[in-house]
Amino acid sequence: MDLCKNKTGISDEAAKNLKPHQVPQTHDEQCYLACINHELETVFPNNTMNLERIKHLYTGLKTIYPDSDIYEKSIKVAEICATKVTANSDDCAAAKIYAECYVDEANKVL
């Protein structure tokens, strides 16, 4: 997402190397992920999770995996992770906390 690369100053290589289901390690990676979260509106401006938006984004899972409970499990992961960040947390730190939670919880239920 070029907008977030420009906002955060992350290098093209670092942005390209950041994979889904990977916890961002550097401050630049954390801030880049925070920007993406805000642009996708998966978090509110105060960094609390926008569960309704996430549910909407995840509805495609029902079509892609019609005989699976991956949608329900993914929502459960989101609900658990929503409790991990308090309102008005630092953007970059919140993104890392959410990513850590998603990786940990997804490995348990998916």
Closest C-alpha to 8, from 43, 36, 33, 32? 32
Backbone phi, psi, residue 10, to 5°? -65, 145
Q: What is the pLDDT of residues 6-35, one digit of tens each?
A: 999 999 999 998 988 889 999 999 999 999
The pTM of the full predicted model, rounded to 2 decimals, is: 0.90
